[in-house]
Structures are given as structure tokens and as C-alpha cells.
Structure 1
Amino acid sequence: MKMLKTLGYLAAASTLGATISLSAQADEVNIGFTGPLSGGAALYGENTLSGLRMAAEEINANGGFEVDGEKHTINLVALDDRYSPSQAATNAKRLKQESNVPAVFVPHSGGIFALMSFNEQSEFLVMAYSSVPSITEKGNELTLRIPPTFDGYVNAFTELAYDEYGKKLAMGGATHEYAKIWSDMIKDKWNSLGGEVVADNPMDYNKSADFYTGVSRLIAADPDVMFIGGASEPTGLVARQARELGYQGPFILMDQAKLDEVAEVSGGMESLEGSIGVVPLSAYTTESAKSFVKRYNKEHGKNPGSEAAFMYGALHGLVNAMTIAGTTEDVHAIRKAMDKGLATLDNSKNPYEVDGVNDKGGFLTDPTVAIVKDGKIEEREISEIIKK
């Protein structure tokens, strides 16, 4: 089956949309996406969307998937929300009303919480790409959290930095809701260890490319460690400008920022010496990860971020759950089948080898920790870092 990859952007005063028509069959299943496809976080949004595209194209190229004896294909309908929670909510309502989507993928916590205020009433699954723990603590029966929660990252990153580098921390994270939650948890953990937060100057990573003033305020406090993080591209700019202003210490990177992607902007992995973040998928040694990286690299000419890999596996898992549930419309039955849908997924379609879904709706996978030493990424075991 021939794939149609043309993005049809729909211009309007409040939204920019893109519809990816992957098949002209009458038995298409529309799957929604709302995320940042323009502005400072556009690269992050495109990375998440690229994983969904890749999964959808593979599914359709293989003749689609069977549900209750009938073949179906995937039609991915993507809308730009520019990282705005209110626009994400508007997009989701449009996706449900116009395309009758059973699920909407959204890659930012503000948008996720906005959708969770009405998704149960409107009956669609929120496929949440965010590691904020409270997403699955609210008891929303139709929300699934895709990456592992970041509380494990916060504790491990903070303790590792405190033990290796010193007691003075400067905070230069982003201003969106997800980053604010991260920042609050980092500060609380740092203080609990006996450290001192010597500067706190959040910056708008989505609207600016000039961070010199903000970074100067952090450097003036003479920190041992600097916390930064938003989407990878602006985070790389923050790191590069900090180096240009003379900061030589390590960074703690929020999990949204990926070390390998940040390094492309900051000046190479050497520019991140000593920094702590999540292990990039390109550094994984499992066959499922290596296979996905190879296929993604062939198609896109670059290594995938974790967003692309998680989204790729999540869409395959969602389709598998529809097959198991015997429906593309009953979202409660599909949600119930998600655990088995992921657990029985072929590893070639599951780069992070997600084992299933816990009772609160979180995908079952472990967080990872990396530190840059001599210009190379070293993986550390969380169990060896976090104090008992």
C-alpha cells in the first residue's frame, strides 16, 4: 500500500494543524495528536510525532490490523498547540468532534491535565507523554502515562550531583508547568541533602533564543552545579551560552532534554562534561533498541530521541490492544486491554521493552541515569545512587 506522507497544515487564528493521511480506506481509525509543532519546542513536538508517524506507516504498509475480523488502517491527525494547555484542549475537542478519535497523544503536562478535565466525559484515551507522577495519581480511568515518572530521576540526579560536585546549586530551568514541577522537586531534594540553592532564575525556553542575561545571573552566584532543562534544542542553547560566559561546572538536565540532542547544539558532548541526564536511546545495547535506532536513522538521517521511541511503541501497543479488545471505538475495553497489548508486543515494535501497564495507568519501564565522563556517556544504576 502506498503511503501518503504529505502534511496538510490548516492555518487559523488560534491553531495550526497538520493532517497525515496514511490511507484512503473507509475503515481508517483516526488517532489524534496535539503538541508543539511551531515555536521553541517545535523540535520536541516533531520528535514525538515522528515516532507515531513511523508506527502508523509500518502498520499501514503491512496491510493494517485486524479487529473482530475486519481490517483497519491508521490515519494520524496532528494539530499544533504551541505548548499551550488551552490550545491543546481546543485541539482535543476538535479531534473528538470532527475525527471521532478514540485516543489523543499529547507530549506536555499542561496539555495532559487540560485534556484530563473532560476526556472521561468525552470518552477518549489521553496518551500522555510526560513523566509527571501526579498524572496517574488522579484516578482518571482513560489516561495512560507513557514514560516512567521523573521522581526517580530527580532523586538520582540530585544525589549523584551532590555527592560528586558540591553543595551550591543554581536553578535555570524552563517556565512551563512540567519544568516548574521538576524545579520544585529538585530544590526540595537538594535542600534535604544539606545543599544550598544559590540562584533561581527560570527562563522561557519556548519564546527566547537569547539566554545570556538569565544565565549570567546564575553564574554570578558561583554555583557548583547548574540545573537546566526544557526541550533539547533550547536547553542546548542555554548550555552553550553558559559555557561562552565562562561557566565550567556540570549541568543537571531535566529528563525532557536528551544529552545527545543537547550536545548537538551546545558544542559537542565535551561541552557537557560532568553533566547528568537520562541515557539516550542511542546508547542502549538491547536488540530492540538497536533495531529501532537503525531503522529510524535510515529514515530520518539521525538518531531518535526517547520521545520518538516511546510514542512508536505506544501506538503499536494501542493497536494491539484494539485487536485484543475486538473494538476500535469502545475506549474502556481498549484501556482494559492495554496491559496485554503492550506485554504481548513484539520486541521489534517495543524499543524500550515496556512490560505492560500498572493499575494506575503507567507504562511499566525503568528510568535510567547517565553522566558524561571524558566526553562519553556512562550509564549508572539508580539503585546504586539513591541513598537508602
Structure 2
Amino acid sequence: MKVLKRGLFICLLVILGVVLVACSSDSNTAEENTESDTATETGTMENASTKEAQELVIGFTGPLSGPAALYGTETLNGLTLAVDEINENGGIEINGQPYTVKIASLDDKYLPNEAATNAKRLVQEEKAKVVYTPHSGGVYALQVFNEQEDFIVMAYTSEPGIIEQGNALTVRIPPGYDTYLEPFTKYEMDRFGKKIAFLPTASQYGKDWAEALRPVWEANGGEIVFDESIDFTKDTDFQTIMTNALSKNPDVLFIGGASEPTALVLKQARDLGFEGGFIIMDQAKFDQMAAVLGGSYELLEGSVSTLPLVHASYPGTETFIDNYRTDYKKDPGAEAGFHYISLNILLDAMKIAGTVDDTKAIRVAMDEAAKNQPEEKQVYTIGGVNEKGGFHSILRMSYIENGEVVEFTKEDLK
């Protein structure tokens, strides 16, 4: 019996030893696995943070020489300011890959055929998946092939038709000019009269603006007494055409194009004794025209157009103006402000989509990106991007009265 008890006791000791050894082995294995997993995670994090930054190219084709050079430079300045801020803060990270941003710009002299040639170069040589262009002729030229070549057209033009083409890779940045026709007409008719002379730029944009304004002016009981256009790429002396226009005794002149030549057209009218009002196409800006005219709004008395950015009050406007003045030693125009906010929206859309190459995914993500811009970036408040590709932005209009810029809305004219 004692022998049996001793045997059972020894067996229990052996079993207990085996269990203890097994537990020790499992514990060591678990510790090794944990150490291995931790090392793997640390290595992955280190790899992500030490990835070499790639270059993300954004293309631009616009007028950097010729009569519209000031306009083209303003648009490019807005993009450059945004890029400089982004790169100075370490660039951006999209789907775990860091990027620095580069603007590749080419001069198209405001010519649609040159814009198309430049866009092809930017896409083929620079591998740009996005190309900005700030004139409707250029936009229409790029829309012929941008879907086939798979790049997004960032269109800075108020031409309503560009988002009616069914082009899934076009984004229009400013409001459509069709929203200005009725209020501009009402203001000028109420203040000056119903006879108007048409003298817009001869560009496609100018032709389209004029075509849209004619029926609105006439539907309100107005009369078009003179109807010609000015080719700013060729014409620098406006005396003859202005003399012919004023011989018809208009109450109002319809003018526009880039700010600098438009200001000279207006001055020519005043020099010849015209005392009426002006409907000024939204491409030209009051503050930029005033700079050409000696810094005063006096000659612009009775003009109606869009609100200058320096008179706007969006959450990020003041900071943007200060930064722009620091870099460029002058006030920014709306072109610069819209390009600045649009690039921030575009890059945020790439982050949301998790790609720099999938143009369709980027385009879809732009609505969310626009709606979630931080206040400090909101030079303009963009409420979203609609299905056709148009930015939702607040309509800002103004007129010049007693030498001052006066903001107004449609409701103010009722």
C-alpha cells in the first residue's frame, strides 16, 4: 500500500512539472510574438514617416504676356501663395505618401489654341492630372480632349456653358455671369436710362456675355444703339470706336475683359465726355481698374460689377489679403482669392479620395472638401460643388456711387 501511494505521488509530481514547463514555454512564445508584433508596427510607422516625398504637379495655362498679363498673373499668384504655404508646412500626405506640390505654368497669351497645346505638354511632360486655365476659350479648347487624356480642368471663367457640356472632369470656380444680368440691367436703367452701347472684349467670353445680355436688356424695355467689340490683342487705341459708339447717344456702355485694357476703354469714354454708366463684365475688377486710373474710383462713377475682394468679409479674407500684400506688395484681386481657395479644395479632395491619379474619385470628393474648408482658408466661402461641377458661392455685387464701392444684393434693387 505504501509503495502504491508513493507511486501515485511521484506521478502527480511528474504531471505537475510537465504542466509548469508547458506554461513557461507558452508565456515565452507569447512574449516573443508580442515583441515581434511591436517591432513590426514600429518598423511600419518608421517606414511611413521616412518615405521620400514625391512631387505632385498642378498644371496652369493662362495669359502671362500681352494685354491680359495682369489678369493671368493674378490667377497664378493665388495658386503660388497656396502652394508656398502648403510646402512650408511640410507638404501634404495622401494615402500614406508624402508630397510636395509644384505649379507648372505656361503662357498661352489668352489664345485657345495655345492653351490646348500647353495643356497637352503639361499632361504628357509634367504628368499633370489637373490643369487650371482662366479663360473660357481655353476651357472649351481643353474640354475637347481632357476626358480622353484623363485630367481635370479647373476653369476660372464665369461662362455658364462650360458646365453644360456634360464634361465629368470640369470644375467651374467662380459664379456664372448669368446671375448678374438682371441686377446689373436694373441698376443701370434705373439710374441712367435704357439706351446702351455694346463694346465688350472680342474674346469668346466677351461674345457669350454680350449674347446673354442682349435679350435681358431688351426684355426690360431697353434699346441697343451700338453693338461692336474690341480685340485687346490687336487694338490699343480706342478713340475711333468709342467716338462711333458715343455718336449714338447711349445712356450706358457695356464694356469688359481684363481689368487693365477695360480701364483704358472707360477712360477713353470719359475723355470724350461720356457721363453715363457702365456695365462691366465680371472679369474686370473695380480695384484693379482704379489702380490703372490713378488709384481713384472717380472715373468709375455709376459703374456696376462684382465686389472687389478687398471689400469682402469672409472668414479667411483678411488673413489672405495680409499674406498676399506681404508677398506681392499689392492688393489681391478676386482671381487670386478664388484660385487660392480652389487649390486648397482640390488638394483636400485628393486626401479624401486617397489618390492623386484617380481623377473621377477626386472630382467626386471635391464637394465634401469644399464644405469642410477650415475658416482660415475661406477667402471665399464655397458651399459645395454641384453635380455639373460648379462651385456654390455667395453672389457679391457692387456699384460706384460718390466715389465709393457700395455692395448690394438683388433684393436691394426691388
TM-score when normalising by structure 2: 0.86
Residue 94 of structure 1 corresponds to which residue in structure 2?
121
Q: CA deviation at 1:362?
A: 0.3
Equivalent-residue separation in structure 1 for 2:316 and 2:378 (angstroms): 7
Residue 322 of structure 2 corresponds to which residue in structure 1?
294
CA contact (8 A) 1:174 1:180 kept: yes
Equivalent-residue separation in structure 1 for 2:341 and 2:359 (angstroms): 19
1:305 matched to 2:336? no
Equivalent-residue separation in structure 2 for 1:177 and 1:79 (angstroms): 21
SS in structure 2 opposite 1:126? strand
Residue 64 of structure 1 corresponds to which residue in structure 2?
91
Residue 143 of structure 2 corresponds to which residue in structure 1?
116
Equivalent-residue separation in structure 2 for 1:206 and 1:341 (angstroms): 38
Residue 223 of structure 2 corresponds to which residue in structure 1?
196
1:263 matched to 2:280? no
**Quick one: which amino acid aligns to residue 199 of structure 1?**
F
Identity, in percent, stands at: 47
> What are the Cα deviations for residues 175-223 of structure 1, in whole angstroms up to 9, with x where unaligned?
0000111111111111111111111121112333211111111111111
**Quick one: which amino acid aligns to residue 399 of structure 2?**
I
CA contact (8 A) 1:240 1:265 kept: no
Matches within 5 A, 1:90-239: 90-239=117-266
Equivalent-residue separation in structure 2 for 1:132 and 1:114 (angstroms): 14
1:338 matched to 2:338? no
SS in structure 2 opposite 1:194? coil
SS in structure 2 opposite 1:340? helix
Equivalent-residue separation in structure 2 for 1:287 and 1:332 (angstroms): 30
Residue 354 of structure 2 corresponds to which residue in structure 1?
326
Residue 282 of structure 1 corresponds to which residue in structure 2?
310
**Quick one: which amino acid aligns to residue 330 of structure 1?**
D
Equivalent-residue separation in structure 2 for 1:145 and 1:36 (angstroms): 18
Give the ranges of 4+ consecutive aligned residues of structure 1 lying more than 4 Å apart after TM superposition.
none
In structure 2, stretches of 5+ residues that fail to align are: 1-51
Residue 355 of structure 1 corresponds to which residue in structure 2?
383
SS in structure 1 opposite 2:385? coil
**Quick one: which amino acid aligns to residue 55 of structure 2?**
E
CA contact (8 A) 1:40 1:207 kept: no
CA contact (8 A) 1:310 1:352 kept: yes
Equivalent-residue separation in structure 1 for 2:273 and 2:123 (angstroms): 50
Q: CA deviation at 1:335?
A: 0.6
CA contact (8 A) 1:51 1:309 kept: yes
Q: CA deviation at 1:326?
A: 0.6
For the aligned residue pairs, the C-alpha RMSD in angstroms reads: 1.2
Q: CA deviation at 1:26?
A: 5.5
Equivalent-residue separation in structure 2 for 1:78 and 1:350 (angstroms): 24
> What are the Cα deviations for residues 203-251 of structure 1, in whole angstroms up to 9, with x where unaligned?
1123332111111111111111111100000001111111111111111
1:28 matched to 2:86? no
CA contact (8 A) 1:175 1:204 kept: yes
Residue 85 of structure 1 corresponds to which residue in structure 2?
112
Q: CA deviation at 1:78?
A: 0.3
Equivalent-residue separation in structure 2 for 1:185 and 1:162 (angstroms): 17
Residue 400 of structure 2 corresponds to which residue in structure 1?
372
Structure of higher CA gyration radius: 2
Does 267-276 or 310-319 show the bigger shift?
A: 267-276
Paired residues, number: 362
Equivalent-residue separation in structure 1 for 2:130 and 2:410 (angstroms): 33
TM-score when normalising by structure 1: 0.91
SS in structure 1 opposite 2:383? coil
CA contact (8 A) 1:201 1:217 kept: no
SS in structure 1 opposite 2:105? strand
1:44 matched to 2:71? yes
Matching residue within 369, 383, 386 for 2:411: 383
Higher helix proportion? 2
Residue 15 of structure 1 corresponds to which residue in structure 2?
none
Equivalent-residue separation in structure 2 for 1:131 and 1:142 (angstroms): 17
Q: CA deviation at 1:347?
A: 2.1
Residue 272 of structure 2 corresponds to which residue in structure 1?
245
**Quick one: which amino acid aligns to residue 381 of structure 1?**
T
SS in structure 1 opposite 2:393? coil
Q: CA deviation at 1:285?
A: 2.4
SS in structure 2 opposite 1:364? strand
